[in-house]
Amino acid sequence: MSQRTSYAPGTPCWVELSTPDIEAAIAFYSGLLGWDVPEQPPEIAEQTGGYRRATLAGADAAGMMQFTQEGQFPAWTTYVSVEDADATAAAVREAGGNVIVEPMAVMDLGTMSVFSDPGGAVFGTWQPGTFAGAGVVNEAGALSWNELNTRDAEGAAGFYSAVFGWRFDRNELGAGETYTSLMLDGDPVGGMLDLVERNVPDEVPPHWQVYFVVEDVDAAIENVNGSGGSVMMGPIESPAGPVAIFRDPAGAPFAVVALNETTRENAP
């Protein structure tokens, strides 16, 4: 199991689902990804609004939160590890982004913030305290990749470079398609997809896509179809392995990937 106990600042470290029905979400994702989602002790549940942490073999894999106010929509949020939440919020403002949730301490676990970039994609940051983020990655059922889907690739590159120091490495895939890797100190920490270049319909808004590992994409498609979700795309081949994009029963989009041998060998 690829276990993690820390994340370098500027590295995506956690993902969190906002959903209108947390029990239905637990049933869906547990069936698909093999998660265990225990209830928190009453005193912690009260302080965190009923927040749940999904685990794989006892290691934290992802978070889940039921809607707490009107106007929310089902979605997965990517969190990036940072050294200083307040300094990051200032950098977001300076670079033209918006602060949705100001830096907020979560007990002794860490400090969270939520932002949107200039194109409208929502993301969060996490300044770790006693909790660093996902304790397992790149294994079946765990997080593997975080990908910005944007309609302004040039503007996004300028924004995220200013906020996190990322470099953007554009790669030719053939047939006129490209894919951009988000690089930090020479290592890929995520990806970027140009929605305009891929002719994605305008109704698809800019967003951060999360990818979870599965052993078999075809089996995952069958599972999703049989448990109230829907298939948006796939299976399709990618350099990392077969991919499919789904919506869960509440409508939150997410992706799965069956990592090929080369990707598994090179995954951190």
Q: What is the pTM of this model?
A: 0.95
Domain spans in the chain, listed from the N-terminal domain onward: 12-128, 143-266
Q: Mean pLDDT, the chain, as a whole number? A: 93
Do 143-266 and 12-128 fall under one CATH topology? yes
- Residue 133: CB partners within 8 Å, gap ≥ 6? 4, 7, 13, 14, 60, 79, 81, 126
Contact 191, 145 (CB under 8 A): yes
List the CATH code of the domain at 143-266. Answer: 3.10.180.10
How would you classify residue 225: left for phi > 0, otherwise alpha for psi between -120 and 50, otherwise beta?
alpha
Q: What's the pLDDT band for 263 if we cut at 50, 70, 90?
A: confident
Strand extents, DSSP E, 107-176: 110-116, 122-128, 143-150, 167-174
164 vs 49, higher pLDDT? 164
Domain 12-128 in CATH 3.10.180.10? The answer is yes
